[in-house]
Structure 1
Amino acid sequence: MNAADPVAAYLSMLEHERRLSAHTLRGYTHELDELKKLANGRALETLAASDMRGAVSRAHAGGLTARSIAHRLSAWRAFYRWLAERVEMAANPVATVRAPKGAKTLPKALSVDDANTLMEAPHANTTEALRDHAILELFYSSGLRLSELVSLDIFEIKTKDHESVSWLDLPNTEVNVFGKGGKRRKVPVGRKAIDALRAWMDVRGEFVKLDPYALFLSVRGNRMSPNVVRDRVKRMALLAGIPSNVHPHVLRHSFATHVLQSSGDLRAVQELLGHASITATQVYTSLDFQHLARVYDSAHPRAKKRD
């Protein structure tokens, strides 16, 4: 371990041993920079729970959301668990510190009708439009995270210059993704999405310049960035007349909600989404109950409101 900078050693471990994504690493780096600011030159192992509670109070007073504070404490807690195995410490100073409670917000999901409107919206027959339609269909068909979708290769590649992290498996109609927390999973791809992907693959060669392996390419021939994909999804939703703010995570939420409504199988949805814990998936049961409540209110004779 780098005794002079344990944070740098920890981040190196996350990158090379746990193989966290660049996006996740940036998050850890930011939160651990905040920890170093809190220490203000003191050795990190000398910080106490009172220091952590003070940091939480100041962050909350400064307008940081409860969810962001919880994320920060989670990063700090994991770091101290790692550090405790390498230096002598009285206790993990974050172990008993909790974030303030925040308002519980449910993920936003499209209705089935709006999802169908978006998927079936007419589009041009250009290379760019075929690519964008394939992106939409794959998001909704398989519930991928944005980082997972942009990491996809056209198929599994292992060469001295490149090894696929995630890839499309067209023959088996599935994607193999390396997801959050280093968890790998296979997710089926529906027929409509497969049709859209085949249409894109037929013309993808027109964009191949700099990156021959990426599934989704920009007009310049680079692997599409998360920001570009996010902008394209939003633009397509506006063109389709969807009033809500549609972004990739809305499509992931829509996928999970609609599968749960149809199947009622929470464990299957957990596996498809790549959640490490069923707790993260259970939020969709609240969405499903909202849907059932609306059906009840509109259908049950004793529930209908009088005019």
Structure 2
Amino acid sequence: MKTIFQSLILLFSISFISSCVVMSTKKYNALLVQKDSISLGWEASRNKVNALEGEIVSLRSDTALLNSKITELEEKLKTLDENYSALKLNTSSEIQKLADDLQKREERLTEVEDILRKRDEATNALKDKLQKALLGFQQNGLSVDIRNGKVYVSLTDKLLFSSGSIIIDEKGELALKELAKVLKTQPEINISVEGHTDNQRVVNLGQITDNWDLSVLRATSVVRFLTEIEKIENDRITATGKGEYQPIETGSSPEIRSRNRRIEIVLSPKLDELYNLIK
């Protein structure tokens, strides 16, 4: 731009010198106006160039800043992509693990339900066998029922013992023999013999001091008969005394007291398989 301006000035000067002798005042003034116009144009152009150069510098700075931000954002995006991929992988792994755990739990639940179903079937079958085997004694104070998945054979004391006695009488032995026949065919059944009394105080029974003693000794008599005479395995059977504290009915009438004085033989299936499943 400066070179162009200098060329114009030189041209103007030559023209001026070559024609100064014959140039009129009017033409001279026109040349001056032209010179001023060229000077103003050159100044405006120079200012515009300076402004453009400043703008170029600013744009270059902005471009560098934007490139830096783009690079930073690209790095963040790369990190986010890596994190997302890792999270997606971990989430898929966790979901699969949860699905596997759920499937295992459902399988265990199915096994437990199957075992419980078999237990209930076995319990009902055992009840039917006992009812048939002990049918002749049911009018003499014997009953068979199911409670909480267990079979309860309840024998009133008059079916087994004389009043105040812990020795099983002949009628009671017959009932226990029939019971033992069924139990010998059910080796997977655990046996618990529970002695129960009424709430009347024990009197004139020698070394038997209270209902606790009476209930325990009567349960023990039944256990000894089943193990020593009928040869039921000792490790299948236990004896406990409940005294007067688990009555069938509350009250003090002779009928209620008679029902509360009883031996209950509780039969429950061995649940080792079930216990192993739920450990």
Greater Rg, structure 1 or structure 2?
A: 2
The structure whose residues are more often strand, as a share, is 2
State if a TM-score over 0.5 links the two structures: no
Which of the two has greater helix per residue? Answer: 2
Shorter chain as normaliser: what TM range? under 0.3
TM-score, normalised to structure 2, is: 0.22
